[in-house]
Amino acid sequence: MTRRDFLQVSSLTLSALVLNACSSGEKIGDSDFKSLKIGYLPIADHLLIIAKELKKSNFIPVKFSSWADLSEAFRSKSIDGALILTPLALKLKSQGLDIKAILAAHRNGSALVVKKGVLQNKDISALKGLKIAIPSRFSTHYLLLGNLLEQGGLTPKDVKLIDMPPTEMIFALNSNSIDAFIVAEPFCAQAEELKIADMFILSHQIINDHICCVLAFHDSVLKQRSDEVSTLLGDFLTTADFINQNPQEASKLSLKFFGQKPALLENLLTQDKRIVYKNLKLQEKDLEQTLQDIKNYEVDTFEIAFKDFVDSTFVDAYLG
């Protein structure tokens, strides 16, 4: 049985719902199983998921530990939508999965950290030959790394890349399996707090105001359940405003979904430009940058038009 077959026949989504409900003491009703199922990872990029608590939004958050599992669940339609890496969503789209993005989940929000003692300076050229973990070749982090290396006269071929789930990177760094990693927060901040890594660069210092993850849905869901999607988008945008205005409270709400110390996330949210929950409407320039980098760093060669990947009608209707 293949990985995809397993996901299709398993009760993945049901199990996640039962686990979440049991751990929070919520009672599961028949109507809950009909709610939109949204996949996410326990990363700061996906903090909009706290809308479930803040707004009591009518959706089921389904947590994954890796991008591979989330993308396969999305592909097999075990979930209706997902907070997903833009390059990964584009790859699924290029393979024939009928999905569209309706919102940027955030802007900025990643960093490159290096194990303490590995480097004597922060020259980009010093990264040559290092073992650097990335979440996926189809990740914004790989594209950001490519941009950074290019600024120092290097290419991704000048480092040893290792694909790894974000949740495993800190252990790998501490056990000397890797020299560095570039990934979404809060793992970079956590590695700093544990005093096992030094900050090399924040992602906004590579490309400011970049997108990373998007909120995407199956096109059939957008067409057949547009009212639910509209309500959810409104809740997510209201939650974004709440995060900007109340970072401490937002961080406390994240505990249920991420399992990270709220103080760690609060510290990130209060830093200028480190992770941003503003300007979440996707723009053509966002997609152009991503597609160009995908080609430049030899990830793939597919061509996807903005109108075929992004549905702006929901956010336009909300913004009026």
Confidence of residue 7 (pLDDT cuts 50, 70, 90): very low
The per-residue pLDDT for range 72-120, each reduced to its tens digit, is 999 999 999 999 999 999 999 999 999 999 999 999 999 999 999 999 8
Q: How far apart are the C-alpha atoms of 28 and 41, rounded to whole Å?
A: 22
Domains of the chain: 36-108+209-317 (3.40.190.10), 110-205 (3.40.190.10)
Indicate whether 22 pLDDT > 70. Answer: no
pLDDT at position 2: 44
Instruction: Return the structure tokens found at 238.
Output: 């209201």
The per-residue pLDDT for range 87-99, each reduced to its tens digit, is 999 999 999 999 9
Instruction: Return the structure tokens found at 99.
Output: 């999905």
pLDDT at position 122: 92
Rg of the chain in Å (alpha carbons): 19
Q: How many CB atoms lie within 10 A of CB 222?
A: 22
pLDDT at position 187: 96
Q: What is the mean pLDDT of the chain?
A: 91
Confidence of residue 320 (pLDDT cuts 50, 70, 90): confident
C-alpha closest to that of 282 among 311, 241, 318: 311
Q: How far apart are the C-alpha atoms of 171 and 319, rounded to whole Å?
A: 43
The per-residue pLDDT for range 163-221, each reduced to its tens digit, is 999 999 999 999 999 999 999 999 999 999 999 999 999 999 999 999 999 999 999 99
pLDDT at position 32: 60
C-alpha closest to that of 90 among 246, 290, 316: 290
Question: Which strand ranges, in their side-by-side order, compose the sheet holding 110-115?
Answer: 160-163, 131-134, 180-184, 110-115, 197-202
The per-residue pLDDT for range 283-319, each reduced to its tens digit, is 999 999 999 999 999 999 999 999 999 999 999 999 9
pLDDT at position 11: 35
Q: How far apart are the C-alpha atoms of 140 and 148, rounded to whole Å?
A: 12
The per-residue pLDDT for range 140-151, each reduced to its tens digit, is 999 999 999 999
Q: How far apart are the C-alpha atoms of 229 and 111, rounded to whole Å?
A: 31
